Structure 1
């Protein structure tokens, strides 16, 4: 084939060269004379002859020349050339001197190299005609183009491969699959070298290709993915429009057949068998079945359902989304004794159905599932399942409350024994007959103590106590009238001395621990011993309450301040029960508005005159006063502590009062009293101007120097008590003028042990005749009053001492 192409190329080359020579000759003969003739030139129009300087036509060179001699391209010629060799022709530009050579005398141009149009389609050069002697340009320099002429040397190529397409199975004939395209590097404007046509080399039984566009289409309508899911189709592209001698190229196209849901699910078996114990709880999985689908992807998704009534009632089927299996579970408790084998129908359906194939057949399949129930040893069952019994509270011990019945559900039907779970009846109020199941009372019942009892009854096989069942039993204790009515509270009432007849004193209500079915109905009356009472009357209001009224004009609490009124209450039975309660009535003094002022009982008067809110308010006020007093005392002591020097010490904070019998002189041996006596200096008290002044300042001296100016209680016959009197008076005046010092609510007195004790003294503390002159300034405004009391007490003690003497 290569030799044929080479011969064809040479034939075309010779033909082109001949055409070129003929054109050059025609132009050269028509263009005689100097100058370049142009179409429309007036000279050409007048004489029919064009004079031009350069004479040549367009130059062509055939690509892929394989000859041994340089390839003649063409000739440049000037019409001024006389043929005597005086003109020298030269060229310059692309490839001049290398690819293209020119004969300087004749102007012939030859190509010395093999050219490729697919690499470069043309070359631009310039021609010069010079005087050989002077090298002067005889003609203006002119540009010309050498075109590389195409030959069919490039085959079509599929540049976008590899190609992969897809088409759905069962697609109709002519369904477009994909498009392929080949490109040819030859010149599409010259000849048919680049005109490509397509054809199928392999796979033409199933696919076709459009010769011009390269679109691949289905050739048949029975493509089945389940039979073959892909095809390898070879497509050929040929140039020269498919004529003989054209070049060609090919590519392989992979066509994938995609799935459609054209296959129904199918069970591999027509029957499946499973077994399960009868005690399996609801929700237990029995087994799994799976239908197969030859489709792929979501077309294999399916759902399952029960088709028969028995299967829907006893079992439940669900779909495992991961494995697409049907999971059969228990939906209702099984019983071997009732039915040993269950036969159900399970149906599989496609989840996604393609409507195009609905008419092709049913997209579902069915299978039979047999479930065998296995027998197990079951505990007894209570029948019937009633859990409520009733018994009256006055039932005798051993009375039958009710009977429970349990049977062995197994075929063997073992005997059943009964018992009571004692954790639910710790007090053993009830017993049960182990053989018959009769429940009897074990103790005396009392509805008022416990109206309901919840117990658990056990039923077990006689020879296998591990097979046990439990039943909760509620026992209601029915009420009988065994409790008399009683007054709701211990009633107490108050009535004014000036009360009028018919005045309401108290409304009486009662309580009854019994709960009769018809409700309570109580009757009120006065017992015979109170019927003749002319002081009070009792009125039954008929709504289970009664009212007590006064029946006389006025009362005298000096004669009788409390009346006890017995009240008889009777219920409606049966049998009727009664009790007597007492109403306490107090006679009180009232104001003009009828408000109680006081009764003979102080506690009752307080409760009658003061409401709970008033009592609370009074207590709050008292607490506030106590807090204020304590706060003021604290501030006062804090104020005095700043006035006291660190070296001084108040005797009142260091001497303890004691009321027991002293030891006389022995007390001085137990305590060193010299330290206390040294705190006071009588020279300060007695010093000054003799007018009762204290220290150097007299009555108006520095209070800080007078703070401890208390007398030492020395028994001396010449002691002048006027000193103490003046001192105390001055202190009292200071306390009365100091408004910041409140009165003290309590006080303590201190005294010193004297030199000895008077005869028949009961204490080692000095007598009150001297203590009456103490400093009571710390009592503030209460000082004068207490001083008087101290003096009075000292006088009485002196009289007593003289009488004893």
Structure 2
């Protein structure tokens, strides 16, 4: 602005009667006015960049009256710019990247500087850019501040970091202008412009021939000056003698190539392998192919070391066959193993007994022949899986095993038999040629052409049988009636022997029995009842179960009888202590009655059935000289006392002409039917009553106790 601006009123005569006052922006602070002359002065240095324009109001008033002599006037004060501000960059430090090997003029980054001076007034705010540091690698456009590459083929592998200093100067770069600077850090990023390289052309490794597939042998590594994915390497075996014997894999962490065994090695076959291993980049930029192939190769020599190996069998597994009727010591086949080492040590064979615990097979330790040591049965074991061991004689620690599978071939050595137990029935009103049962058979053998069974009645039953067998030619047969009507009271059960034969060689046959019961049936042919016992129903017990129950009951009864007999025997004393006590001839029948089936014992049936006709029995103690007709004795009536009956029989003995002339002892040792007691012989009656045990008579009453006392008698001529 102009220095010392002033205000003047037309009413001012210079006599000091007027007074000038100032108001508005900065009045009294930045700007003051001389109240007598109207001169305006600035009290401080003004900065256009802070406030370029001020608006003020001035007025002249009468000092005495204080009234304005003229209307208030407004005026504007503008601050003129001077070059008092240097250019300032938006960032103190810039960071930028650019790919290595970039072309000249490749954009890197743009920098910007601002100047606070008035761009519309002079050249105070006109900024020009220039590079102070970073040549000849980079350049900057003077007006825009764009930084570009200035050198061709900048290589990151040679230099990666660059620091560039850029200057911004106002006044259009003329002398006297103000300036500012900034720093730009530029990094070259990697591109795949370097192929992998092996540090050496030949590698050499060793491995034993016993190394299994997958065993690592050694590591090789190619170097690559690039970084990141541009430095990733893939290894491969491109050619060589061991192309199919070895493999190479890449360790992704270390970028190494690991040589591994691919197949089993054999020192005796080949001792040294030569491989060509190639290293290449999987990510290649086409624009750098002109530099050459991005791969490298090296030679790898692998030496196989000899190892003492166990014997090797000629096969991984052996399968042999033998007929089940083979005799002991029959040779089945043989196995072969040999030492793969150059020494060719002799081998001996043995059977792992853990796989043949029954010792069914054996092996010749010298030639490996397998032979049987026991008889075979295909129906018991079809396949025998054993293990054969081959061991070096000079080094027993070296051994190997091989599985041996022996199949037992079938021989027709089992006859066919019924598939189940057959028990059927026929109705009394059955018609001729009526099917009553279908038969099926099974055979443990397994012929190649399948089972072909034939059915027929046994020859001894075929002629007079009431049934016929019809072979259905499909391994089944039917039982048919041969006549109209059956009578279960005449014949309740028929047993049909059926012959079953196979069609193999040699022919095997067996005879099975079919039980046919004659039963009463309804009109629909459903069984209602049979004479002997009802057949098995789905809700009843089988015949075998009923027989088992009856056997249990009989066993229980026999046990009770024996227990009672032993108990009584302990209490009894013998009637005749010594035979010397009997001066005359006494025939002692020291036995018990045999029940109803004992036809030689005394028949007490007349006590129960007085009307029955007595069948006299011959004496067993003498041989009669003449045979007399037995006399009929009136039978005892139901109300006749047993004592009278016994006395009557005693008299008959006295008068019996067939009785011996000497004294004899007749023992009536008959046990009543169903009694659990011991003998009631009269030899016991002479003992004291207190020694007798009548517990078994508790259910028969005192009448039979009396019978026990008197049962039997002594026969003599007159003093019996």
* TM norm. shorter chain > 0.5: yes
The offset of 1:211, in angstroms, is: 1.6
What residue in structure 2 maps to residue 539 of structure 1? 470
Q: Distance in 2 between matches of 1:599 and 1:312?
A: 89
* Count of paired positions: 562
Q: Distance in 1 between matches of 2:208 and 2:131?
A: 67
Q: Distance in 1 between matches of 2:40 and 2:430?
A: 163
User: SS of 2:259's equivalent?
Assistant: strand
Distance 1:378 1:102, change over 3 A: same
- CA distances 1:172-202 after superposition (whole Å, capped 9, x unpaired): 2222222212222323232211211111112
What residue in structure 1 maps to residue 612 of structure 2? none
Instruction: Report 1 or 2 for greater relative contact order, CA contacts < 8 Å, sequence distance ≥ 6.
Output: 2
Q: Distance in 2 between matches of 1:523 and 1:313?
A: 64
Contact 1:393–1:447 under 8 Å retained in 2: yes
Matched, 1:321 2:252: yes
The offset of 1:347, in angstroms, is: 2.7
Matched, 1:399 2:330: yes
Q: 2:168 aligns with which of 230, 234, 237?
A: 237
What residue in structure 1 maps to residue 538 of structure 2? 612
Contact 2:492–2:532 under 8 Å retained in 1: no
Alignment of 1:641-660 (within 5 A): none
Q: Distance in 2 between matches of 1:95 and 1:588?
A: 144
Two-structure CA RMSD over aligned residues (Å): 3.8
The offset of 1:452, in angstroms, is: 1.6
The offset of 1:444, in angstroms, is: 1.5
The offset of 1:591, in angstroms, is: 4.4
User: SS of 1:307's equivalent?
Assistant: strand
Q: Distance in 1 between matches of 2:420 and 2:58?
A: 147
The offset of 1:474, in angstroms, is: 0.9
What residue in structure 1 maps to residue 511 of structure 2? 580
Matched, 1:381 2:312: yes
User: SS of 1:422's equivalent?
Assistant: coil
Alignment of 1:44-123 (within 5 A): 60-61=1-2, 72-79=3-10, 91=22, 107-111=38-42, 113-123=44-54
Q: 1:204 aligns with which of 107, 114, 135?
A: 135
TM-score with structure 2 setting the length: 0.69
Contact 1:500–1:554 under 8 Å retained in 2: yes
Distance 1:311 1:185, change over 3 A: farther
Q: Distance in 1 between matches of 2:326 and 2:64?
A: 165
Q: Distance in 2 between matches of 1:379 and 1:441?
A: 27
Q: Distance in 1 between matches of 2:519 and 2:141?
A: 130
Distance 1:79 1:381, change over 3 A: same
Q: Distance in 2 between matches of 1:214 and 1:558?
A: 135
Contact 2:426–2:518 under 8 Å retained in 1: yes
The offset of 1:456, in angstroms, is: 0.8
Matched, 1:520 2:451: yes
Contact 2:240–2:273 under 8 Å retained in 1: no
Larger mean CA deviation between 224-233 and 530-539 belongs to 530-539
The offset of 1:430, in angstroms, is: 0.7
What residue in structure 2 maps to residue 12 of structure 1? none
Q: Distance in 1 between matches of 2:177 and 2:241?
A: 78
What residue in structure 1 maps to residue 88 of structure 2? 157
User: SS of 2:354's equivalent?
Assistant: helix
Alignment of 1:164-179 (within 5 A): 164-179=95-110
Q: 1:350 aligns with which of 278, 281, 289?
A: 281
Q: Distance in 2 between matches of 1:119 and 1:487?
A: 125
User: SS of 1:402's equivalent?
Assistant: strand
What residue in structure 2 maps to residue 468 of structure 1? 399
The offset of 1:91, in angstroms, is: 4.8
Matched, 1:216 2:147: yes
Distance 1:118 1:570, change over 3 A: closer
User: SS of 2:230's equivalent?
Assistant: helix
- CA distances 1:500-552 after superposition (whole Å, capped 9, x unpaired): 43333433333332223233333444444334325333333333333333334
What residue in structure 2 maps to residue 363 of structure 1? 294
The offset of 1:345, in angstroms, is: 2.9
The offset of 1:86, in angstroms, is: 6.4
TM-score with structure 1 setting the length: 0.63
- CA distances 1:25-44 after superposition (whole Å, capped 9, x unpaired): xxxxxxxxxxxxxxxxxxxx
Contact 1:534–1:552 under 8 Å retained in 2: no
Contact 1:346–1:367 under 8 Å retained in 2: yes
What residue in structure 2 maps to residue 502 of structure 1? 433
What residue in structure 1 maps to residue 193 of structure 2? 262
Q: Distance in 2 between matches of 1:304 and 1:81?
A: 106
Q: Distance in 2 between matches of 1:584 and 1:124?
A: 142
Distance 1:414 1:104, change over 3 A: same
What residue in structure 1 maps to residue 261 of structure 2? 330
Contact 2:240–2:274 under 8 Å retained in 1: no
What residue in structure 2 maps to residue 250 of structure 1? 181
Q: 2:498 aligns with which of 563, 567, 570?
A: 567
The offset of 1:802, in angstroms, is: 13
- CA distances 1:572-603 after superposition (whole Å, capped 9, x unpaired): 3422233333333333344455443433321x
The offset of 1:249, in angstroms, is: 1.8
Q: Which runs of 5+ in 2 are unaligned?
A: 543-689, 710-720
Q: Distance in 1 between matches of 2:216 and 2:79?
A: 85
Q: Distance in 1 between matches of 2:264 and 2:227?
A: 39
The offset of 1:261, in angstroms, is: 2.2
Q: Which runs of 5+ in 1 are unaligned?
A: 1-59, 62-71, 617-759, 769-792
Matched, 1:287 2:218: yes
What residue in structure 2 maps to residue 4 of structure 1? none
Q: 1:511 aligns with which of 439, 442, 461?
A: 442
The offset of 1:388, in angstroms, is: 0.7
